[in-house]
């Protein structure tokens, strides 16, 4: 189905279903209950999940397949964001031209940075990309203020030209990003009993873009090009003695993953038309590395899972403060309540990085293949009996690729 093999098609359908029903799935707790703050089914959150998923999926094309660890991918996300906002300022508030330009500009940047960085491999490559990203950040923050807005970030204003759109709405406001007139922030809410589900245009648009990009990624993984990228990771010396030039393969992978990052940046500003330099900071680059490793490097679904976990932790765990904790343990005796609150407090709220760090350490130590490997191990417990028949079944042998 879809020109994919049965296993990939099944995975893709599952991902599509998750995207489609995310507003329900991420809102399992009734409104007003104590657990409602664990709900992630609000548009802003779902958009971030999908956009960072896209970012990580693209990053995985480079890191997962070729093994080249870029530590500067946030630069492309930032460049994409700036390019998107400039499209909103100059051309129109329609998101389509903004996304196209974001992707192209990020592609150009990655071509330039990749061309230079890929002259080295291993740690030197990582350091070079990191240096370039920090350069982009510093430039955006200082010298390039006229283009990037510097500290305040790049914002829309009422006197932007917007030659194909309107400068301001009838009410004198800045227009919102839209898809041929359909505003990104439009949403309908469905109330079912105590639950309330929000369906927003922005989320479904981002999910559609993600679905297309993910489809492309699956095809790429199973293509001759994808095989060559894995060959780069496996043995570059054999590759060159087999008549293959590894450099253009790695550069193509770098540019494709840079364009994914630019597309993610364009989507970010389509949801909220504001771009700041901190998006290019090295911590942002590090985050996408964490997402990919946490989920499972080189697998199709891993980066999505990793991005989901990290984005969720960041948004939800960081909002838990001491008042919330005290509310949870209200029923307990005062001494025990305070004790528990004091134990948990460092791990939540502004200390959510501690939780993230612990999760990361545990995964890397005990599940080097990330969440995907964990899932496989659990799955293996149930399907061990069928295993022998499975290995016989794997027929057309050229394609069994990495991960599911």
Partner 1 sequence: MGILEVKNINKRFGGLQALGDVNLDVQEGSCHAIIGPNGAGKSTLLNVLVGKLIPDTGTVMFENKPVLGRKPHEINQMGISRVFQTPEIFGDLTVMENMVIPILARRDGSFALHAISQLRNEKSLNEEAEQMLAEVNMLEKRNMQASSLSRGDKRRLEMAMCLVQQPRLLLLDEPTAGMARADTNNTIDLLKEIKEKRNITMAIIEHDMHVVFSLADRITVLAQGTPLVEDTPENIKGHPKVREAYLGEAQV
Distant-in-sequence, close-in-space partners of 73: CB < 8 Å, separation ≥ 6: 55, 59, 62, 129, 133, 257, 258, 261, 285, 288
Considering only 3-11, 38-46, 47-55, 137-145, which stretch makes contact with partner 1 by CB under 8 A? 3-11
3-state secondary structure 156-190: CCCCCCCCCCCCCCCCCCCCCCEECCEECCCEEEE
Could you give the string, one character per residue 228-257, with x where binding to partner 1 holds by CB under 8 A and - elsewhere?
x-xx-xxx-xxxxxxxxx--xx--x---x-
Binds partner 1 by CB under 8 A, chosen from 3, 161, 357, 368:
3
Q: Give least dist CB 391 to partner 1, A.
A: 7
**Interface with partner 1 includes 211 (CB under 8 A)?**
no
Q: Give least dist CB 4 to partner 1, A.
A: 8
Considering only 2-10, 118-126, 156-164, 302-310, which stretch makes contact with partner 1 by CB under 8 A? 2-10
For partner 1, the closer of residues 216 and 328 by Cβ is 216
Q: Specify which residues 198 forms β-bridges with.
A: 189
Unique residue bearing structure tokens 């489809």: 215
Residues 362-401 that bind partner 1 (CB under 8 A): 391, 394, 396-400
Strands 178-179 and 154-155 turn out to be unpaired
**Interface with partner 1 includes 58 (CB under 8 A)?**
no
Considering only 50-58, 139-147, 222-230, 373-381, which stretch makes contact with partner 1 by CB under 8 A? 222-230
As a whole number of angstroms, the distance between CA 157 and CA 155 comes to: 6
- Of 222, 241, 286, nearest in space to 65 by CA: 222
Q: Give least dist CB 249 to partner 1, A.
A: 7
Size of the site for partner 1 (CB under 8 A): 38
> Could you tell me if 310 and 86 are in contact, meaning their C-beta atoms sit under 8 angstroms apart?
no
- Of 79, 13, 6, nearest in space to 214 by CA: 13
> Maximum CA pair distance of the chain?
73
Interface residues with partner 1 (CB under 8 A) are: 3-5, 216, 219-220, 222-228, 230-231, 233-235, 237-245, 248-249, 252, 256, 391, 394, 396-400
């Amino acid at each position: 189905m879809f020109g994919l093999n049965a296993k990939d098609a099944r995975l893709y359908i599952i991902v599509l279903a998750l995207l489609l029903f995310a507003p329900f799935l991420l809102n399992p707790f009734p409104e007003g209950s104590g657990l409602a703050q664990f709900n992630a089914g609000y548009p802003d959150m779902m958009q971030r999940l999908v956009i960072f998923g896209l970012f990580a999926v693209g990053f995985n094309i480079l890191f997962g397949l070729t093994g080249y660890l870029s530590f500067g991918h946030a630069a492309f996300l930032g460049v994409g964001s700036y390019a998107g906002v400039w499209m909103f300022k100059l051309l129109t508030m329609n998101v389509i031209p903004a996304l196209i330009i974001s992707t192209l500009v990020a592609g150009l940047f990655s071509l330039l940075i990749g061309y230079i960085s890929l002259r080295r491999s291993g740690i030197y490559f990582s350091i070079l990309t990191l240096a370039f990203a920090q350069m982009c950040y510093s430039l955006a923050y200082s010298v390039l203020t006229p283009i990037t807005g510097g500290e305040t970030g790049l914002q829309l204003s009422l006197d932007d030209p917007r030659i194909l759109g309107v400068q301001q709405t009838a009410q004198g406001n800045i227009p919102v990003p839209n898809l041929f007139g359909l505003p990104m922030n439009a949403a309908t809410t469905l109330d079912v009993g105590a639950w309330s589900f929000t369906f927003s245009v922005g989320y479904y648009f981002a999910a559609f873009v993600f679905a297309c990009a993910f489809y492309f990624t699956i095809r790429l993984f199973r293509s001759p090009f994808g095989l060559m990228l894995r060959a780069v990771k496996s043995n570059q010396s054999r590759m060159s003695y087999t008549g293959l030039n590894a450099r253009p393969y790695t550069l193509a992978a770098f540019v494709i993953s840079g364009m994914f990052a630019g597309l993610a940046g364009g989507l970010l500003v389509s949801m909220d038309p504001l771009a700041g330099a901190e998006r290019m900071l090295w911590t942002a680059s590090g985050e996408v590395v964490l997402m990919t490793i946490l989920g499972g490097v080189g697998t199709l679904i891993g980066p999505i899972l990793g991005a989901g976990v990290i984005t969720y932790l960041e948004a939800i765990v960081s909002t838990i403060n001491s008042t919330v904790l005290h509310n949870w343990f209200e029923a307990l005796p005062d001494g025990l309540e305070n004790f528990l609150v004091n134990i948990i407090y460092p791990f939540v709220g502004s200390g959510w990085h501690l939780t993230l760090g612990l999760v990361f350490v545990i995964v890397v130590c005990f599940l080097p293949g990330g969440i995907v490997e964990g899932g496989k191990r659990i799955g293996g417990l149930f399907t061990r009996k069928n295993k022998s028949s499975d290995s016989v079944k794997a027929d057309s042998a050229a394609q069994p690729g990495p991960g599911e």
